[in-house]
Amino acid sequence: MSTAPAQRATAVPNDLEAYWLPFTPNRAFKAAPRLIARAKDMHYYTPDGRAVLDGTAGMWCTNAGHNRDPIVAAIQAEAAALDYAPAFQFAHPKAFELASRVAALAPGDLDHVFFCNSGSEAVDTALKIALAYHNVRGEAARTRLIGRERGYHGVGFGGISVGGMVNNRKLFGTLLAGVDHLPATYSREHQAFSKGRCRARPACCPHPRATCRGCAPSATSTASCSSSTRSSPVSAGSATRLPPSATASSPT
């Protein structure tokens, strides 16, 4: 056992080495860091004051905006009254109130709520609940879990097992047994382009917007649709391909 005196931990200002960022090429990031100092409403602000539009609501969890006065006041008031309440054999009245409100919003008989700290924890908990549910019903052999290729279900062991993102699980061994994956619903052949009005489509075009494939001038009209571009209605979920002449100037 070493008898050397323990070094006292000290904070090093602006030292980026100790923090290991998730889903980030750390060496590249620390060579050119993108730092955020504060936020307000729909913007983040860098340490030098530059505004950055938060187009993804944080990690999809600040949809009401950042640093809004009513939310800040509610957080401050709750922290001053009770900073933490254990959930093992104890509870807080507002946890029951929130569960009731969530259950009232849920469809059908989804009338119970189990709170978790993150999406990854929620996915792993849901998998455990599903397995335990069949077990207590006398169907303990129902253990097969089905995911989809390209699917994302967090970064817990259960989530990356049923998830379909290979890079998220390739370094971690066999993970959960009894997991299969269905093909992804995405089809590059049918979904390479998004629906929308092509800019070549004139106002007189009789085709529905979803099926217009561009218009060509005719001998009788300067902006009538050629018969070669007419098509049957496109079913829900499919996409419209535009001809090369229209694709060049059309948003995708």
Question: Residue 2 has what pLDDT?
Answer: 56
pLDDT-wise least confident of 94-98, 101-105, 185-189, 210-214: 210-214
User: Is 229's pLDDT higher than 60?
Assistant: no
- pLDDT tens string 235-251: 333 333 333 333 333 33
212: its two tokens? 């217009």
Question: Residue 188 has what pLDDT?
Answer: 82
Question: Residue 45 has what pLDDT?
Answer: 97
Cβ-based neighbours of 142, under 8 Å, separated by 6 or more: 131, 134
Kindly list the distances between the CA atom of residue 32 and the CA atoms of 2, 27, 55, 205, 221, in Å, as whole numbers in the listed order.
38, 9, 22, 51, 58
CA distance 215 to 200: 6
Mean pLDDT of the chain: 80
Question: Residue 11 has what pLDDT?
Answer: 66
Kindly list the distances between the CA atom of residue 76 and the CA atoms of 21, 64, 79, 80, 239, in Å, as whole numbers in the listed order.
28, 17, 5, 6, 49
Torsion of CA 25, 122, 54, 18, to 10 degrees: -40
Question: Residue 224 has what pLDDT?
Answer: 38
CA distance 7 to 232: 75
- Tell if the pTM clears 0.85, that is, is over it: no
- pLDDT tens string 41-74: 999 999 999 999 999 999 999 999 999 999 999 9
Mean pLDDT over 33-40 rounds to 95
- pLDDT tens string 188-201: 888 887 766 555 55
Mean pLDDT over 26-34 rounds to 94
Percent of the chain with pLDDT over 70: 72
User: Is 81's pLDDT higher than 80?
Assistant: yes
Burial 185-213 (b: 16+ CB within 10 A, else e): eeeeeeeeeeebebebbeeebebeebebb
